[in-house]
Amino acid sequence: LPFNAPEKYWDLYKREKIDLADNPFRPKGAPDAALHNWGELRAYAGIPRKGPLPDDLARTLIHGYYACVSYTDAQIGRVLAELDRLGLRDNTIIVLWGDHGWNLGEHGLWCKHCNFETSLHSPLIVAAPGIKGGKKTNALTEYLDIYPSLCELCNLPLPAHLQGKSFVPLMKKPKRPWKKAVFSRYYNGDSVKTDRYRYTEWRRKNGEV
Instruction: Flag whether pLDDT at 208 surpasses 90.
Output: no
Contact 150, 93 (CB under 8 A): yes
37/108 Cα distance (integer angstroms): 9
φ, ψ of residue 72 to 5 degrees: the values are: -60, -45
Model confidence at 1, pLDDT cuts 50, 70, 90, reads: confident
pLDDT in tens, 81-111: 999 999 999 999 999 999 999 999 999 999 9
More confident residue, 159 or 1: 159
For 134-188, strand residue ranges (E) read 182-186
pLDDT tens profile 155-190: 999 999 999 999 999 999 999 999 999 999 999 999
Query: Considering the chain, what is the average pLDDT of its residues?
Result: 96
In single-letter form, the type of residue at position 112 comes to: K
> What's the mean pLDDT in 52-80?
98
Q: How far apart are CA 186 and CA 121, in angstroms?
A: 13
User: What are the residues whose beta carbons fall under 8 Å from the beta carbon of 36, sequence distance 6 or more?
Assistant: 109, 113, 114
Q: Where are the beta strands (DSSP E) in 160-204?
A: 182-186, 189-193, 198-202
pLDDT band with cut points at 50, 70 and 90 for residue 206: confident
